[in-house]
Amino acid sequence: MILCIADVLKASEIETAREILAGVDFIDGKATAGPIAGGVKRNEEAAADDEAVGRLARMTANALFQNGLFQLAVQPKTITTIIFSRYGEGMAYGSHVDAPTIGGARADVSFTLFLNDTADYDGGELAIEDTQGEQLVKLPPGEMITYPSTSLHRVTPVTRGVRLCAVGWVRSLIREPAAREILYDLEMTRNAIYQKNGPGREVDLLMKSILNLQRRWMDD
């Protein structure tokens, strides 16, 4: 399931992220790519050993765990890694699939969290392949997109300005993408019925089904 999530970061957190990234060193992004992906990767990444970058990663992870829609759709067990990437003019990331394990844990869900205004740069769309073709995504700062780590995806060339994003990977409690989508749809249906009619038998039965499917599918 590919899902856009708004308001992941507050305006003050976005400003903090920009200030930190303006003052840290960036390295060649090939350093965190495998031999195949490295051949099509042209970007820069904030040095992970920088203390300020570590604080920013923790701030971002906390915001994700406090976001109800992220919790519902992704069902995270751990956020394995967060990287802050920068694409200047002429930079891009060709078509690739993320590694099956990142940061020592299985990568089930990938995400891109946009950090600067779409007017700041041209190009730089995240392109994700699915059964409907290729989806191009470019979101306002503080918004993010999540997608299965099994997806082919790329970043189109930046032709003007600079693109700043946080990218990361999640090990989910629910391993299979189809199972996560079923649970998401059921929970959204349960919430809609509850908002319309309040508590009742239908809400109870849906919650029973959701919890028992989690019990059946959960990989803890």
3-state SS class at 131? coil
Regarding whether 168 and 129 lie in a shared domain, the answer is: yes
Regarding whether 181 and 161 lie in a shared domain, the answer is: no
Regarding whether 210 and 105 lie in a shared domain, the answer is: no
Residue 200 lies in domain = 177-217
Band (36; pLDDT cuts 50, 70, 90): confident
Band (105; pLDDT cuts 50, 70, 90): very high
**Number of structural domains in the chain:** 2
Regarding whether 152 and 83 lie in a shared domain, the answer is: yes
Regarding whether 92 and 7 lie in a shared domain, the answer is: yes
Band (33; pLDDT cuts 50, 70, 90): confident
CATH number for the domain spanning 109: value is 2.60.120.620
pLDDT at 162: 98
Regarding whether 79 and 22 lie in a shared domain, the answer is: yes
Mean local confidence (pLDDT), 17-34? 92
Q: Determine whether 157 is exposed, middle or buried from the number of CB atoms within 10 Å of its CB (0-12, 13-18, 19+).
A: middle
pLDDT in tens, 47-91: 999 999 999 999 999 999 999 999 999 999 999 999 999 999 999
Regarding whether 182 and 166 lie in a shared domain, the answer is: no
Regarding whether 110 and 183 lie in a shared domain, the answer is: no
Cα–Cα dist 78/61, whole Å: 9
Q: What is the separation of C-alpha 190 from the centre of its chain, rounded to a whole number of angstroms?
A: 25
Instruction: Tell me the three-class secondary structure of 134-156, residue by residue.
Output: EEEECCCCCCEEEEECCCCEEEC
Regarding whether 182 and 168 lie in a shared domain, the answer is: no
pTM for the whole structure: 0.93
Q: Which residues pair with 135 in a beta bridge?
A: 128
Under 8 Å between Cβ of 78 and 102: no
Regarding whether 63 and 84 lie in a shared domain, the answer is: yes
